[in-house]
Structure 1
Amino acid sequence: MNQTYLLEWLDLLVTFTLNPSKTDVNEITTVQSKAIIEKTIEQTVFIQSQFKIKVFSLNKEKQIKIIVGNYHSSLIIFLDNVIERSHNVAFERFDLKQVMKALILCFDELLSFIETRFSDYLSLDMRVPATYLVVSKKKLKKKIDKLKNNSTSTINDEKVTVILFDSLYSFVNSKANEKVTFRQVLYRKQLVKELELLRVPEREDIVGSTLIEVLIYMNFNSRTFINYFTKSVADQINCCENAAGKMEKLLFYFKEFNQIHSKDGVILNPHHQDLKTVLSDWFKHEMMYLEKRLHFSVIPLVNVDKKRNETPIIANTNDKVLCKLSTDQTALLLRASDELKILIAKSMNHIFKTIVPFLSTPNKVHLSYDSMRSKSYVAEERDKKIVIETLERMIKQIKEY
């Protein structure tokens, strides 16, 4: 059974029967075209069934990886050949066009089958062939359009929906010559599939949103989504009038967050930290911050008493110091300065509250000290790199004094 080549009929069809350089395709009759289409549909079902039997009959993971990789590569080659040939004048006849269309659907379905069932055995970091990428993006875009037009896709929070669809459309509309890996394509396919299964939720909590649960489950570690999520949770916590209430609500949201499962082996941005890790760290740091405020009985927490806890506003922008680093990068510097005791104050919050009002960035004049403090716990690799390079330039400058 293991030696059987399941793609034999399709291989012969693409390599010889429908190859204008080896066969006069005009000799194919309308009846034959219809028979080919019917056989193609049968083969699509047959190959999936037999492929599962073939794979599960193997005992060694290395053998499974080889056979899955070989079939996946072969299907992509066939798909590329069929798409390229479909533009040939030899296939302008209506019945032959239908044959090519049936083959494209067949190969696309078989590829989706392998990528969904046996993704663990594929080399996901390999670059996707251009033709296959075009087909995948086109198919994805149709599904995304349908999701967006479906009222259930805008459940609960419009801003989350905007963040999600901006990310999806950014991928399907990206330049053709941009390097894309199988991991990136497969992630979007899996994400869209999860979104198609969404149901309108009964509750409206930020952590209880079904859409947000899906994004956390799918490790949607978009920086925009992370910032939105943390700000939404912080805004709801700040609705409480006392510190004990804030802590109780924060613990509740943290418990709800921890109960959301995450799917193994999937991630939106492979070069960034896992979403669960980033958000867990944020929750923990926020709890530490509240605990310190409660312990030392400092002034009421964020926005409890606006007059007593209001951030100083420097009206004259000329009195501000322009910092060429971004808000996130400045936040990292201040956090590191506090933890290394380079800047010493009664709390890290006090450092941000004292310094930030006197700073501005090229993109923003008035900065929120509390927002900057929260962002210091969500460090992006690019921001860390820029801060490190900046510090290295400062070291070099100091050495020249």
Structure 2
Amino acid sequence: MNQTYLLEWLDLLVTVTLNPSKTDVNEITIVQSKAIIEKTIEQTLFIQSEFKIRVFSLNKEKQIKIVVGNYHSSLIIFLDNVIERSHNVAFERFDLKEVINTLISCFDELLSFIETRFSEYLSLDLRVPSTYLVVSKKKLKQKIDKLKNSATSTINDKKVTAILFDNLYSFVNSKGDEKVTFRQVLYRKQLIKELELLKVMQNEDQANATLDEILIYMNFNCRTFINYFTKCVTDKVNCCENIASKMENLLFYFKEFNQIHIKDGVILNPHQQELKIILSEWFRYEMAYLDKQQHFSVVPFVNRDRKLNKTAIIDSTNDKVLCKLSTDQTALIFRAADELKILIARSMNHVFKTIVPFLSTPNKANLSYDSMRSKAYVAEDRDKELAIDALQCIIKKIKSY
């Protein structure tokens, strides 16, 4: 069955009517410019409606992928042409500038429509064309600025809000030739849409969801957010007086966390583990740690530990051993050494509590053993690689003796 080309009018407009090499654009009147703008807006709505009908009329996934991919690629080409055309002196006239700006908005809206509704049929790991990336970042920044000044940044925890906006601004303000994929752009668009919905619900006093829950739902596997979330839970649990109460509260927070759904197919950093996996593993290790504390008597060691802590406080920074690895990398090595029984103590906590007060790093003189222990369960691939590199250097050195 023959199907009409939905972009025919826009295609002709961009490639012929507004092409200075084929048409004298100065002959376009103000009335005609206004008519073009109105027709462009009308076509934008028409294409979205007809495109849905066309896609849903297809039965085979391969056919859908071809149709979606072809229209998506064509729209990007048109957007590139229009942006390039905007720098032409022929379009310095006010009404023609309005035509160009309307077209840019039109193509951006159509691209967002396809990427949001039919993302599963797109090759999201392809690199985004530079012109499309510029337009996308500009639109995203406008929405981020608006959100930052809205209720979202005042109702929710200011620390997690700062983490969120630092990450978003870092993306839209980034420059250079780094590869940015459609997946990365689409993720930010979807995240901002969720934040806008949260803002509307908060204004209507209908929202029970917190910003934390939105970020977990959106698989926001940012390391800073992970550290913030685990620290918040740890601080709440440590407020309890005894181990039984700590375990009870930790189980409660774990249950609350598990009840938050994760949106399918979205992730902030596709090269890292999913947020749900990372935090679930952290919860399980923390529960295992508290469980061990319940089964081992710590009374005989209290005085000795207090003495150790006191000694650690009295000792000057100069008496500490400087470790060139970061706290995260050191934590991974200690955890592995404990689990392999290379370092033998009554618990992993005791390994960290005994060793860490006598260590420092180039960035920090006084290290928290509890913080380092927690980081042992939340490992980034880069920290794993650097820890392995350090151990391989040690192996090589030992072999040379």
Amino acid at match of 2:132: Y
- Structure 1 residue 172 corresponds to structure 2 residue 172: yes
Q: Which residue number corresponds to residue 214 of structure 1? A: 214
CA–CA separation in structure 1 for the residues paired with 2:398 and 2:188: 48
CA–CA separation in structure 2 for the residues paired with 1:40 and 1:248: 60
Q: Deviations over 1:157-184 (max 9, x none)?
A: 1000000000000000000432211111
Q: Which residue number corresponds to residue 275 of structure 1? A: 275
3-state SS, counterpart of residue 227 of structure 2: helix
CA–CA separation in structure 2 for the residues paired with 1:276 and 1:309: 37
TM-score, L = length of structure 2? 0.94
Amino acid at match of 2:274: D
CA–CA separation in structure 2 for the residues paired with 1:82 and 1:216: 38
Larger displacement relative to structure 2 (153-162 or 213-222):
153-162
Q: Which residue number corresponds to residue 57 of structure 1? A: 57
Asked whether the 8 Å contact 2:152–2:195 carries over to 1, the reply is no
TM-score, L = length of structure 1? 0.94
Q: Which residue number corresponds to residue 318 of structure 2? A: 318
Q: Deviations over 1:286-323 (max 9, x none)?
A: 000000101123359x9xxx969957435222221111
Asked whether the 8 Å contact 1:226–1:279 carries over to 2, the reply is yes
Q: Deviations over 1:4-31 (max 9, x none)?
A: 2100110011000110000111111222
Amino acid at match of 1:227: N
Asked whether the 8 Å contact 1:299–1:308 carries over to 2, the reply is no
Asked whether the 8 Å contact 2:323–2:360 carries over to 1, the reply is yes
CA–CA separation in structure 1 for the residues paired with 2:38 and 2:72: 23
Asked whether the 8 Å contact 2:308–2:354 carries over to 1, the reply is no
CA–CA separation in structure 2 for the residues paired with 1:384 and 1:98: 53
Asked whether the 8 Å contact 1:156–1:209 carries over to 2, the reply is no
Q: CA deviation at 1:370?
A: 0.8
Q: Deviations over 1:257-308 (max 9, x none)?
A: 00000011111111111111000000000000000101123359x9xxx969
Asked whether the 8 Å contact 1:314–1:357 carries over to 2, the reply is no
3-state SS, counterpart of residue 126 of structure 1: coil
Q: CA deviation at 1:154?
A: 2.9
Q: Which residue number corresponds to residue 191 of structure 1? A: 191
3-state SS, counterpart of residue 98 of structure 1: helix
CA–CA separation in structure 1 for the residues paired with 2:203 and 2:53: 39
Asked whether the 8 Å contact 2:151–2:202 carries over to 1, the reply is no
Q: Deviations over 1:338-392 (max 9, x none)?
A: 0001011111111111111111111111111111111000011000000111111
Q: Which residue number corresponds to residue 251 of structure 1? A: 251
Q: Deviations over 1:165-209 (max 9, x none)?
A: 000000000004322111110000000010011144999xxxx86
Q: Which residue number corresponds to residue 134 of structure 2? A: 134
Gaps (5+ residues) in structure 1?
A: none
The 1:54–1:202 alpha-carbon spacing in structure 2 relative to 1, beyond 3 Å, is closer
The 1:6–1:19 alpha-carbon spacing in structure 2 relative to 1, beyond 3 Å, is same
The 1:209–1:319 alpha-carbon spacing in structure 2 relative to 1, beyond 3 Å, is farther
- Structure 1 residue 80 corresponds to structure 2 residue 41: no
CA–CA separation in structure 2 for the residues paired with 1:220 and 1:57: 35
CA–CA separation in structure 2 for the residues paired with 1:337 and 1:61: 50
Q: Which residue number corresponds to residue 287 of structure 1? A: 287
Alignment of 1:207-246 (within 5 A): 210-246=210-246
Q: CA deviation at 1:155?
A: 2.3
3-state SS, counterpart of residue 313 of structure 2: coil
Asked whether the 8 Å contact 1:221–1:273 carries over to 2, the reply is yes
Q: CA deviation at 1:151?
A: 2.6
CA–CA separation in structure 2 for the residues paired with 1:39 and 1:169: 35
* RMSD (Å), alpha carbons: 2.1
Q: Deviations over 1:128-177 (max 9, x none)?
A: 11111110000000000000011333323100000000000000000043
Q: Deviations over 1:219-268 (max 9, x none)?
A: 10000000010001000100011111101100000000000000111111
Amino acid at match of 2:322: L
The 1:389–1:130 alpha-carbon spacing in structure 2 relative to 1, beyond 3 Å, is same
Amino acid at match of 1:11: D
3-state SS, counterpart of residue 140 of structure 1: helix
Asked whether the 8 Å contact 1:314–1:358 carries over to 2, the reply is no
Alignment of 1:355-370 (within 5 A): 355-370=355-370
Richer in helix (by share): 2
Asked whether the 8 Å contact 2:321–2:358 carries over to 1, the reply is yes
Identical-residue share of aligned pairs (%):
80
Q: Which residue number corresponds to residue 112 of structure 1? A: 112
Q: Which residue number corresponds to residue 394 of structure 1? A: 394
Q: CA deviation at 1:43?
A: 0.5
